[in-house]
Amino acid sequence: MIEVPESVRVAAAAQPYPLLFATVSGAHLYGFASADSDYDIRGVHVLPLERVAGLDRGDETIEQMDAGPPELDIVTHDAEKFFRLLLRPNGYVLEQLYSPLVLMTSPVHDELKSIARGCVTRLHVKHYAGFGENQWRLFEKESPRRVKPLLYVFRVLLTGIHLLRTGEVEANLRTLNAEAKLSFVDDLIARKSSGSEKEVLSEGDVEFYRAEYEKLMTHMLETAASSPVPDLPSARAALNDLLLRLRGIQPREQS
């Protein structure tokens, strides 16, 4: 468990349905939170059977904002939706599941982390390449350009490279860069962490960062081509059995 303001833990505990886990994502997970960064809480809740089998379905995703302080952004998905996202594949949910910044946990959280290793595939390159391209476009559109979106670009690409190379989820940019050894990343982290969410860049630096972005994108695509991780997920049956048990339904034995 991590140390957070009491209001963060209270907000996580106040969710309307039982939680399998709640973790901290966003800048705190990525290793470049500023003093004024909000807390991004992500988790999985379990809807009762009558809310998924009857006509009155609901609350597949629950979103809550709290102006704080500190500002909170809380999003939880019902287990079925989360499991489908794991199989899609979706890097966001992997990062949330394996976040070491744990607010609430359960034995099922540990079981799910074990099962979800079978969800890591080469297809995740699509998630991280698409996310990286989108973050770069957002960075370029801004005026003045801020440090935060640029850090997201490099965090995403280095996470993708690490996942495709090792099969392990690592979202902390400081940890990733201890291996990548990109000095400009350490400089950007220092500026963001000691400054604010709106820390800006010099316009003259943009071409340098564009070249570094393009090199890392190429490196990620090359890593995907030779990656040792599987081509397709193998965890569907295990996730299905777990979901049935969470709904109070005994899975059928396989003949």
Question: Looking at residue 203, what is its pLDDT?
Answer: 77
Q: Whole domain around residue 161: which residue ranges?
A: 124-225
Question: Looking at residue 254, what is its pLDDT?
Answer: 59
Confirm whether 1 is domain-assigned: no
Question: What CATH code is carried by the domain that includes residue 36?
Answer: 3.30.460.10
214 lies in the same domain as 238: no
Q: How many domains in the chain?
A: 2
Rounded to whole angstroms, the Cα distance separating 13 from 184 reads 39
Question: What is the percent of the chain where pLDDT is above 90?
Answer: 77
pLDDT band at 156 (very low <50, low <70, confident <90, very high): very high
Mean pLDDT score, 39-60:
90
Residue carrying structure tokens 């960075």: 139
- Residues 6+ positions from 125 with CB-CB distance below 8 Å: 160, 164, 220, 221, 224, 227
48 lies in the same domain as 66: yes
Rounded to whole angstroms, the Cα distance separating 90 from 83 reads 10
Rounded to whole angstroms, the Cα distance separating 170 from 148 reads 19
One-letter identity of residue 244 = L
Distance set, CA 12 to CA 19, 34, 42, 164, 238 (Å): 9, 21, 9, 32, 27
Confirm whether 32 is domain-assigned: yes
Tokens of 248: 């109070």
pLDDT band at 150 (very low <50, low <70, confident <90, very high): very high
33-37, 97-101, 198-202, 247-251 — most confident range: 97-101
Four-point Cα dihedral 7, 194, 188, 6, nearest 10: -10
Q: Residue 34: pLDDT above 80?
A: yes
Q: Residue 255: pLDDT above 60?
A: no
Mean pLDDT score, 7-33:
93
131 lies in the same domain as 216: yes
Residue 21 in contact with residue 97, Cβ under 8 Å?
yes
pLDDT digits (tens, 9 = 90+) for 169-215: 999 999 999 999 999 999 999 988 887 667 888 877 899 999 999 99
- Alpha-carbon torsion 189, 190, 196, 202, what sign? negative
Q: Residue 1: pLDDT above 70?
A: no
Confirm whether 251 is domain-assigned: no
Averaged confidence pLDDT in the chain: 93
Which backbone phi and psi does 96 adopt, to 5 degrees?
-65, -45
Min mean pLDDT across 3-7, 145-149, 177-181, 220-224 is at 3-7
Report yes or no on whether pTM surpasses 0.85: yes
